[in-house]
Chain A
Amino acid sequence: MAKKSDKIGAVAVVGGGITGIQAALDLADMGFKVYLLEKSSAIGGVMAQLDKTFPTNDCSMCILSPKLVDCARHVNIELFTNTEVQKIEGKPGNFIVKALKKPRYVDMEKCTSCGSCEEVCPIKLPNLFEHGLSDRKAIYKLYPQAIPNAYVIDKEGDGKHRGCVNCMKCTDVCEVGAINHDEKPENLKLNVGAVIVATGSQPFNPVIKPEFGYKKYQNVMTSVEFERVLSASGPFEGKILRPSDKKTPKKIAWVHCVGSRDKSVEHEYCSSMCCMYTAKEAVIAKEHDADIEPTVFYIDIRSFGKDFDKYIDRAKREHGLRYVRSRISEIVENQKTKDLVIRYEDDSGELKEETFNLVVLSVGLCIAEEQRNELIGRLGFETNEFGFVYTNPDDPVVLKPGIFVAGSFLEPQAIPESVMQASAAAANAAALLKDVRGTLVKEKQYPAERDVSGEKPRVGVFVCHCGINIGGYVDVPAVVKFAKSLDDVAYAEANLYTCSEDTQKKIVNAIKKHNLNRILVAACTPRTHEPLFQKSLRDAGLNPYLLEMTNIREQCSWVHMDKPKEATDKAKQLVAMTVAKIRFLQPIQEAEIPVTQKALVIGGGIAGMTAALSLADQGYETALVEKEQVLGGYLNKVYYTVEGIEIDQLLKETVEKVQKHDIIKVYTGSSLVSLNGYVGSYESEIKTPKGTANFNHGIIVVTVGADEYKPNSYLYGKNPQVFTQSELEKKLSECLPEDIHDGETFVMIQCVESRDEQRPYCSRICCMQAVKNAIRIKELNPRAEVFVLYRDLMTYGFKEKFYKTAREKGVMFLQYDAEKKPIVSANDDGLVVKMFEPMLQRELRIPVDTLVLSTGLQPNLDNSVIAQMLKVPVNDDGFFLEAHVKLRPVDFSTRGVFVAGNCHMPKFIGESIYQAQAAAARAATILAQPKLAAEPNIAVVDEDMCSGCKLCISVCPYNAIDSVEEKINGKTVVRARVNEGLCQGCGVCVATCPSGAMQQRGFKDEQILPMVEETV
């Protein structure tokens, strides 16, 4: 390994999808220089092509785009597009990454993205971003919000279609001279300390499965194509149309597991997210057009993620999704109508035919041949039998020393897992390079703030088309014209996407040119985009709090799609109201909170230990609090795995590392009794066997775990032959082959008191527990009988292969219906399980020697106590609820508090490990900073108005208000006082205070009331 002196404080992130973006942002915020390398002309990856995301139905582009812009603007992220890695040389801590940067032929600095070049370009090619459902020109932008926001010329074409013919029309029309047809490729040599590979995977191409008729029948499309059909910015502008006649299909079928769980294409793994995106696509299609009748052909519904079961349940109940359990045999086109006939076997084995107007193939992910040959081949990464890169299951993001991996390059998975692995990879890189942290970074320099006091308001109004999201319904030019007519409005303009990078430049320029001192953006919600526009104000030398947004999308165009005239009137009114307010905005100076650069980790299981190690390895002193006498948590109840983790060794080594680490303080048999303070500056009191310990820290990681649920049914606790999976595991770990006799029968029942009304969540791990223990039994004695009675077998990802192993070893998997649960009875002859077998359409009766119940995990009962102390939420099931299930999977909305492991939701060891590392990375983005900016829009008390009624104290969710007694003219007066560090600016106290004594910065009465006045 490189010596301290020759380590490089920079990291190369290869791949600019959401995974690479997250890794880059985390590392840059932790104090490292980042080179983000992307093969295509813009970052964003697959997520930019998705319409909505499950299970929250958030618009994918809307939640992604702020991250894109953050990447573009981050002073410590350098973006290289059209760039492919050739070679990685050197050693951990000091690598040379050699890459080829292909010419873009457009100067990114000069291009204003005006689009004139595109208009004159005579060459048309299939638009691959739209999967060929529409065309694009040879000079093009990958998608409207693309980052970098510049055009690119396709000189190569796609084999069938030629690219640029050098007609030079674009050069002639480009006013800024950005086009250079002679640009040459460039060889890059980047000196970095670590590399993160996040190049992703590819959707399966179903052409090689002729029975599905893809590319043969017009109305058979893949799910990734259908995402574009759903998208408002897609080829059909969000109208659900089928390709053959551009008419709305009524009956749509989705076919699961296309290219997944399929031996014929050597993809004997599950792609993990197709079950959920299918449900999402069907739900969204139904939302677009209520007459659509969606049918899903499936094998198992793998809804193993957080709140996934609830989503599926709602999809069935509220949106009328029809689920048919069948692997379909063939799709045939009706040549006249272009409808499609699906032939399938139903539950009872009967052959059926059904006609659909459109068929969507839910394709899985794979590593395409090119990628296998190119990147993996060139860089010599080890791969598994499916072509994905291989890492140790107990060190999941480490590819080689100094080279880390994240995202679906590793295994097919959904966005949250990818994002967690991205942060985990960042944590590993940061630990490797802790000594050179901050050596290559610059601090963002903003111009000095202009003093606007005494200036008459000069408002600049930017009205967003948001593609057709707003522009399709609201007459945006009319709104701009109206805005110009308002008092104090000095400038107004319309933008295709106000959030795009080029518009930010326009805002900055407009502020300078027109001497603006208030900026109004009429677009979408401030929740996602406000920080972006605030930065633009800063760049122009304005205080960021002189910005105001009004939402003419969610609160106008989207809800009044059928009334464009009224929607336009309302948009005008909203603009007028906001102009009424914006005059009264005052600059706000952010208070600074010093950061105690230490961490507290609550819970000493594998997640807690991993988080503590990761934080300490990055150089942050950490206290680890565990309520039990020993470290290890639930891992103490795990004895073996099938995926190759040596539990004993992992536990022993991890505990040893934690205990020997010179900057980790371990408190076993201890608990957190009180917590004061706020992000950056917490004070904790820890009750230990040796008395009370006090610890000051800047962040908190919650890893308090979960435990196996003990059932109340199936004779558990009453009959000595009945066990839970983990009890069986303990027993099997002590078994010798002769302990299990020939013909001894084990029956495992899955989903016991789980995925029902009482515990309506899937515990994710129990199917694999069953598979693992079943394999173990068969290994001990192949002549033992093992039956697994299941509802949906959740062996997602590569776990599918162990399901296959179990079947090959003769384990019998029998599916039961949730409505007809197996029945267990005990009599003199022993235990008997009865279940209805849908394939055979009859009841089976199995005499049992050992009955095993898969009950899953349940959250700790004291989660709610911790939640209250930390002011963080738990979900309906009692698991901790993260800030955003997709993009902030380890953050709480309360800044400075993070979550990992089973207390977030049940998960496997490897998943807990990378989630814990992710939490450590996210925490380090705070700890790396000596000071934090406090929430600016906090509540302030007008002491002369305060009556001391204390209602505000009762309602404050952050305990940020207390009462103080003051002597005024000899009388004792009680008044409210806001703690500026604790206040999160939620405004509940302001709404509660009847006297107006409590006011919120940015939302004061004198600012809000003019808005009201403007409307009434």
Chain B
Amino acid sequence: MEPKILKVKNGDVTKTINEFLKELLNSGKVHSLLVPQAVPSKKMVFPVLISDSNQLNADVFAPLLPASTARIISKMTKFQATKEPIGVVLRSCQIRALVELVKLNQANLENIIIIGVDCLGTFSIDSFVNFSEGKTPTEFILEAFKEKGNSSDKYLRSACCVCKDPIPTNADITIGVYGVDLDKEVLIDVATKAGEKVIEDLKLDDTKSVKEREKSIKTIREEKTKKRTEFVKEKRSINGIAALSEFFDKCINCHNCMTVCPICYCKECLYDSSVFDAEAYKFLRKADRKGLFKMPNDSLLFHLGKMNHMILSCVECGLCEQGCPSNIPLMDVFIPAAENAQKEFDYHPGKDPEEKIPMIVYREDEYLEVGEK
């Protein structure tokens, strides 16, 4: 299906999209929508599950990712697929996370309509809540995007600064802004039969050309890829036990990075269990051997264990970094590690639901013996 467009009314993109979503909800094609929307205090935007179109006031471009939307969908669909369709509005990183969770049997996409949104990036919770540029963060980032205001780069989370895939893949419907004149229109790109069915009754205009969009996407990808390459190059020096120990010095062992990670799906994390508790004499023996050691003594092991478990599926959403109360810049190690590990297995998390997790794929030539190459 050719991409469609929504005409923007009064230059208010957010409102235009809200009307589109409202129409969608009213059409009965979806029972509910999961959308980012301001909480009553208006300070924060959170995903809300909404079935009453009158209460819909989505803020789809709000530059904030307070929690993993993918994980929310996992919680709703893991036991049983939803019988009634739900439209879920997701950023590209959360769609990727959702695809990974599906591969891991932790989510079921039956009757889930993914509505992806071109991502303009997100701010830290602090920047968002205490935003002081005299306008809302959403207004600010949209103006920055239209090159009518100051750049939003300084507010972007580091994950977003170097995100090379802000355009949704695997969405049934994509709300597109790259390469689109936002003063006039928003792109509605439908990629699947399920998506087509959902919008079939809605009145949308045909688009004239997507060339501009393709060019814009190419540019943004190139720009971000370049930034990411520089980032990876710069951060690669954090390597080896000594450097990593120093990097995690500030860790208070709260395990919040694991709690907020969309991929970490274990019921109980091994590192939260009593496996590492032991009788005092063992600690004393270790003290004898080493003279002294830091307590709690399993924090580096936790981080390496977590990395080992999920690095191949890491979608680089940066929620771990955002969740760290000690402000450890976790992306500094996770992005280079993800880059290396995923390249080694030629694996692209979240890109293709059919691509198997490397853990379950046997290739004769992977990880050759030392000297075999």
A residues near B, CB below 8 A? Answer: 487, 944-951, 954-955, 971-974, 992, 994-997, 1005-1006, 1009-1010, 1013, 1016
Q: What's the Cα separation between A530 and B310 when bound, in Å?
A: 36
Contacts of B105 in A (CB 8 A): 947-950, 974
Q: Is the CB of B79 within 8 A of A973?
A: yes
Q: Is the CB of A996 within 8 A of B79?
A: no
Q: Given A994-B309, A1005-B275, decide whether A945 and B360 contact each other with a Cβ distance below 8 A.
A: no
Q: Given A996-B275, A1009-B275, A1009-B276, decide whether A946 and B267 contact each other with a Cβ distance below 8 A.
A: yes
Beyond the given pairs A994-B270, A995-B270, A1005-B270, 17 more chain A to chain B contacts, judged by CB atoms under 8 angstroms and listed by A's residue number, are A487-B281, A944-B268, A945-B267, A947-B266, A947-B267, A950-B104, A951-B357, A954-B359, A955-B360, A971-B80, A994-B265, A995-B268, A996-B270, A996-B275, A1009-B275, A1013-B282, A1016-B301
Query: Can you list 25 A-B contacts (CB < 8 A)?
Result: A944-B268, A945-B266, A945-B268, A946-B267, A947-B104, A947-B267, A949-B104, A950-B104, A951-B104, A951-B359, A954-B360, A955-B359, A955-B360, A971-B79, A992-B360, A995-B268, A995-B269, A996-B273, A996-B275, A997-B266, A1010-B278, A1013-B278, A1013-B282, A1013-B286, A1016-B301
Q: What's the Cα separation between A974 and B78 when bound, in Å?
A: 9
B94 contacts A by Cβ under 8 Å: no
Q: Is the CB of B106 within 8 A of A947?
A: yes
Closest to A949 in B: B104
Q: What's the Cα separation between A992 and B105 when bound, in Å?
A: 15
Q: What's the Cα separation between A951 and B312 when bound, in Å?
A: 14
Q: Is the CB of B282 within 8 A of A1010?
A: yes
B285 contacts A by Cβ under 8 Å: yes
Q: Is the CB of A951 within 8 A of B275?
A: no
Q: What's the Cα separation between A951 and B273 when bound, in Å?
A: 21
Within 8 A of A (CB), among B247-286: 265-270, 273, 275-276, 278, 281-282, 285-286
Contacts of A971 in B (CB 8 A): 79-80
Closest to B265 in A: A947
Q: What's the Cα separation between A1006 and B267 when bound, in Å?
A: 19
Contacts of A995 in B (CB 8 A): 266-270
Contacts of B270 in A (CB 8 A): 994-996, 1005
Closest to B305 in A: A994
Q: Is the CB of B104 within 8 A of A944?
A: no
Q: How far is the CB of A601 from chain B (nearest CB, A)?
A: 30
Contacts of B104 in A (CB 8 A): 947, 949-951
Q: How far is the CB of B366 from chain A (nearest CB, A)?
A: 14
Contacts of B106 in A (CB 8 A): 947-949
Q: Mark interface residues in B320-352 (1 if CB within 8 Å of A CB, else 0).
A: 000000000000000000000000000000000
Contacts of A945 in B (CB 8 A): 266-268
Closest to A950 in B: B105
Closest to B300 in A: A1016
Interface size range on B against A: 20 to 34
Q: What's the Cα separation between A971 and B80 when bound, in Å?
A: 8
Closest to B270 in A: A996
Contacts of A1006 in B (CB 8 A): 275
Q: What's the Cα separation between A944 and B309 when bound, in Å?
A: 19
In the A-B complex, list the 3 residue pairs whose CB atoms are closest, starting with the nearest: A995-B266, A954-B360, A994-B309
Q: What's the Cα separation between A219 and B27 when bound, in Å?
A: 98
Q: Is the CB of A992 within 8 A of B359?
A: yes
Q: Is the CB of B80 within 8 A of A972?
A: yes
Contacts of A948 in B (CB 8 A): 105-106
| Residue picked from A949, A994, A1010, A1016, most chain B C-beta under 10 Å | A994
Contact of B360 among A944, A947, A951, A1013 (CB under 8 A): A951
Q: Mark interface residues in B112-139 (1 if CB within 8 Å of A CB, else 0).
A: 0000000000000000000000000000
Closest to B286 in A: A1013
Q: What's the Cα separation between A933 and B106 when bound, in Å?
A: 37
Closest to A1012 in B: B301
Q: How far is the CB of A318 from chain B (nearest CB, A)?
A: 11
Q: Is the CB of A972 within 8 A of B281?
A: no
Contacts of B265 in A (CB 8 A): 947, 949, 994
Closest to A963 in B: B105
Q: What's the Cα separation between A1005 and B104 when bound, in Å?
A: 23
Q: What's the Cα separation between A29 and B110 when bound, in Å?
A: 56
Q: Is the CB of A972 within 8 A of B357?
A: no
Closest to B283 in A: A1013
Closest to A1016 in B: B301
Q: What's the Cα separation between A947 and B309 when bound, in Å?
A: 14
Q: How far is the CB of B340 from chain A (nearest CB, A)?
A: 19
Q: Is the CB of A487 within 8 A of B309?
A: no
Q: What's the Cα separation between A1009 and B276 when bound, in Å?
A: 8
Q: What's the Cα separation between A945 and B272 when bound, in Å?
A: 12
Q: What's the Cα separation between A711 and B366 when bound, in Å?
A: 33
Contacts of A1016 in B (CB 8 A): 301
Contacts of A1005 in B (CB 8 A): 270, 275
Contacts of A955 in B (CB 8 A): 359-360
Q: What's the Cα separation between A955 and B285 when bound, in Å?
A: 38
Q: How far is the CB of A310 from chain B (nearest CB, A)?
A: 15
Q: What's the Cα separation between A9 and B310 when bound, in Å?
A: 61
Q: What's the Cα separation between A1005 and B285 when bound, in Å?
A: 20
Closest to A991 in B: B359
Q: What's the Cα separation between A955 and B273 when bound, in Å?
A: 25
Closest to B362 in A: A955
Q: What's the Cα separation between A951 and B265 when bound, in Å?
A: 12
Q: How far is the CB of B349 from chain A (nearest CB, A)?
A: 15
Q: How far is the CB of A40 from chain B (nearest CB, A)?
A: 42
Q: What's the Cα separation between A955 and B360 when bound, in Å?
A: 5
Closest to A948 in B: B105
Closest to B269 in A: A995
Q: What's the Cα separation between A946 and B79 when bound, in Å?
A: 13
Q: What's the Cα separation between A997 and B105 when bound, in Å?
A: 15
Q: How far is the CB of A410 from chain B (nearest CB, A)?
A: 40
| Residue picked from B79, B276, B356, B357, most chain A C-beta under 10 Å | B79
Q: How far is the CB of A574 from chain B (nearest CB, A)?
A: 15
Contacts of B269 in A (CB 8 A): 995
Contacts of B266 in A (CB 8 A): 945, 947, 994-997
Q: How far is the CB of A580 from chain B (nearest CB, A)?
A: 8
Q: How far is the CB of A129 from chain B (nearest CB, A)?
A: 37
Q: How far is the CB of A813 from chain B (nearest CB, A)?
A: 40
Q: What's the Cα separation between A17 and B12 when bound, in Å?
A: 92
Q: Mark interface residues in B165-195 (1 if CB within 8 Å of A CB, else 0).
A: 0000000000000000000000000000000
Closest to A1006 in B: B275
Q: What's the Cα separation between A945 and B268 when bound, in Å?
A: 6
Q: What's the Cα separation between A951 and B361 when bound, in Å?
A: 10
Q: What's the Cα separation between A1005 and B278 when bound, in Å?
A: 13
Q: Mark interface residues in B223-239 (1 if CB within 8 Å of A CB, else 0).
A: 00000000000000000
Contacts of B278 in A (CB 8 A): 1010, 1013
Q: What's the Cα separation between A595 and B359 when bound, in Å?
A: 35
Q: Mark interface residues in B292-326 (1 if CB within 8 Å of A CB, else 0).
A: 00000000010000000110000000000000000
